[in-house]
Structure formats: structure tokens, C-alpha cells
Structure 1
């Protein structure tokens, strides 16, 4: 994909592809942001009987995973085909939003990591998300607000879920802006086995469909009633001058 900036700059699709490859290679990462040990912690299943030992649970820190479709976030403006062909002010359609010339900012999560502590029957986690914001054709210095959600699950049970509207100030229109978001106050029950899952990513919620266009109501004019004809005098009642007494 190639995006052409208004000042003749190009940010090539290779830059975005590089981000995506980085994301694909870091679906579960450890220690990259300095929050944990650089070596992944592999839970020890312990004894010959297959029981999980207390020491392995104290060392257990579940990996962070990016779900499909949650690693990228774009913001759009009124531009591209819509602006070139229609100044009516109607909401953007899906085709308009898919048009690359409509992009203001394009953000991608490039790495995730976590750190865990265990005390008093509780596991406390610090989950961090790192990424980049790339200016699009309609970009100008300002702030991008990104909806980032962190979820901790035990099987199908949600133990923790937090959506944060994270703001990043973008001032350089010629390069990507780096960001790091962290949720350091995640407290969940001490795991009894290594069955916890942690998810991080953008959460835009359900996409709202554009409101239907209002139909223009054409009011029909009421038919104009013809004026009533003036009353006529019967012929037999007409009076001539000779009939007037002198």
C-alpha cells in the first residue's frame, strides 16, 4: 500500500509491512520493555505425577497475546474520493474510509510484554504495549486518541478487563512517533494452574453504521380553486330606458 502525502512525501507500504512483521513476530514477548526477565518463564509442571508445584506457580507469568485484528488502528478525515466528488456533508461510507488518502494517523502495536508478582493469594501484573503512530496524507500536528484494552482470562472467565483511551501527541510529520502504554495495576486471583490468558490490543467496539440519508420531502401545492362566476340578471328582468317613468 502506498500513501502519498500532500507535500510530496511518501510513506511506503514497506514501512507498514515492517510494522506488521514486527507485530507478527512478537505475539507473546518478554522483557523487551524492561518490565521482566529477558528469558521467557516456562512453567514447571513439577513432579512425576504431573501436578503443578507451588514453586512453578510462583514463577508463572502468562504471556501477552495480540488477537487478530487488534494490532492496528487508523483515524480518518473527510478526504480522498469523497471530498473530490461530494461536498454535501454526508457521513463517510466504508469505501471512503478504505481510501488511503483519507488517513490522518495510522497506528500499530509492535511489541507487548508483562511482569508479575505474587503475594497473599494475588497475582499482580504490569502489562505494557509499545507501538508507532505514522502520519497519513491528512496528518497535521495534534493528538491521536487510541482505545487500548487489556484483558485477563481464566478459561472462558474474564478476570480483568480495562479499556483506556490513550492519547499520544504527534508533532513530527516526517517520521513515526513511538509510544508505550502500560497498565500496572492488574490484580487477579493467584492461579491454581497455568491456564491464564492475557490479551492486549486496540478495541474500537462495534462500528456504527452511518445514519440513513433523510429523504427530501416534496410538498405538493394545493390546487387553486377558481373564483365563483358573477351572478347574471335574467333576460326577462332587464329594464330599458323607455320603461323608466318620466
Structure 2
């Protein structure tokens, strides 16, 4: 069916609004369902803002009451991991997650016409995100879960997309972990948008990492650096 002039005008206005600062306030029902059923992650209970500059992102750990309270036991309870084993939940040991505004949106354009809103093929943006940590004798291991929203642009259509998602862990100037995951997903046929869940397991950092460590998540939109000739 041919779109009317009014609908085209609304679409153009809508994409101009999309090009503004991303809002991560909307929490989808699917993400809420994921969080409520994340026993395998140990996610739930109280939550706190990841940072004052990111009021809409969440980073949660489960503050369970200890099964056997002891001054010699730093854990505050146990949780079942993704592997089905029982691990202690350590209070205050899970670093917070941060996201820069410029890393919150990923777009592709048709015919190389970057920054032309009418040439957007698809756009992806982050919704809410959360994390959970387990502690061993040698490592603090983090799992990150994030909600992603996809939408086709004026020059796009449903289909497969691959999103470059970078997670890095830094302690001052020291990079403890940095990896880009090529995350395959899709916008289903007959749809113009989709919401999916990204999960990254096994993010390791040294024991003792905590409040001073910064965990960054976002789309990797930087061009590859060329190697310097020696």
C-alpha cells in the first residue's frame, strides 16, 4: 500500500527524533521477564544506577541473606550459575557498568551516505543492562546482559544484522579486559523492529577488583587502527 504524504512526514519527523540523544528509559516486557527469571544469573533484588550520568541503565547483584552467617565468610548467600553450580554471592564486589552516549547507538547507511537520515538501513540501540559477578580464589568473573532494540530505517528492510559490541574493563589507565563480540541477530520478515537480548559470559578480572574498576559497554563504532610501520 502506498504511504500517504502525512505518513511520510511523520516517518521523517520520527527519524529526526531518533537521531537525537538516545533514551534508555523504556524497559520492554521481554527484558523484565528475563530479569525476573534470571535465577541462573543470580540477578534480582535491589538495584542501583550504574552512574549519575547514566540514570537509565541498571547494574544489579542479588543481596541474599547468608544461609550460614559467619564473620569469616564474605559471601551474603548463594546463587546458581549458568553452569548449574552453586556459587557465593559477594556483596559490593561487582563493578558498575558505564556507557557513553556516543556508544549507545549503531547505524548503517545505504550507498555510503553517512549521516543522511533518509539513507539509514537499520539502527540498533541499547536499552537497559545488568551484570552479575562470582568470585573464585583467583578471579572475579562477570556476566553482562543487555537489552537491544533494532529498527529498520527508510532505506532498510527486515533481515539479518551483525552488531559489534565492545565490553572493556579498566582500572585507571590499566586495561584489564577488552573484547568486541560480533553479535548476529535479525529483524524478522514482516516486522520493522525487534528487541533482543545480548549476553556475555566469562569476563574475568583479578580478585580485589571492585568499586574503582570501570566496566564499559557499547557499540564499537571506531574504525580499525592502522599499524605503524617500524
TM-score normalised over the length of structure 2: 0.63
Q: How far off is 1:198 after superposition? A: 0.6
Alignment pair present for 1:188 and 2:188 = no
Q: Deviation per CA, 1:210-234, whole angstroms, max 9, x where unpaired?
A: xxxxxxxxxxxxxxxxxxxxxxxxx
Distance (Å, rounded) in 2 between the aligned partners of 1:176 and 1:19 = 19
Distance (Å, rounded) in 2 between the aligned partners of 1:155 and 1:128 = 24
Distance (Å, rounded) in 2 between the aligned partners of 1:61 and 1:196 = 9
Q: What does residue range 1-246 of structure 1 map to in structure 2 within 5 Å? A: 11=11, 12-13=14-15, 16=18, 20-22=22-24, 33=35, 34=38, 35=41, 36-40=43-47, 55=74, 58-59=90-91, 60-78=93-111, 92=112, 96-172=113-189, 174-191=191-208, 194-206=211-223
Q: CA RMSD in A?
A: 3.7
Distance (Å, rounded) in 2 between the aligned partners of 1:127 and 1:61 = 11
Contact 1:71 1:202 in 2 (8 A): yes
Distance (Å, rounded) in 2 between the aligned partners of 1:203 and 1:140 = 23
Aligned to 1:242: none
Q: Deviation per CA, 1:42-67, whole angstroms, max 9, x where unpaired?
A: 99xxxxxxxxx983893211121112
Runs (5+) with no aligned partner, structure 1? 26-30, 44-52, 79-91, 209-246
Distance (Å, rounded) in 2 between the aligned partners of 1:71 and 1:5 = 32
Q: How far off is 1:112 after superposition? A: 1.1
Q: How far off is 1:111 after superposition? A: 1.3
Distance (Å, rounded) in 2 between the aligned partners of 1:69 and 1:192 = 26
Contact 2:157 2:192 in 1 (8 A): no
Instruction: Give SS of 1:152's match.
Output: strand
Contact 1:116 1:126 in 2 (8 A): yes
Q: How far off is 1:37 after superposition? A: 2.4
Q: Which has the larger radius of gyration?
A: 1
Runs (5+) with no aligned partner, structure 2? 28-32, 49-59, 62-71, 76-88, 226-230
Distance (Å, rounded) in 2 between the aligned partners of 1:5 and 1:177 = 25
Instruction: Give SS of 2:24's match.
Output: helix
Contact 1:19 1:108 in 2 (8 A): no
Worse overlay, 99-108 or 199-208 = 199-208
Instruction: Give SS of 1:22's match.
Output: coil
1:193–1:169 CA distance, 2 compared to 1 (3 A): closer
**Any runs of at least 4 consecutive aligned residues in structure 1 with deviations exceeding 4 A, and if so which?**
8-11
1:18–1:178 CA distance, 2 compared to 1 (3 A): farther
Distance (Å, rounded) in 1 between the aligned partners of 2:213 and 2:137 = 18
Q: How far off is 1:16 after superposition? A: 3.4
TM-score normalised over the length of structure 1: 0.60
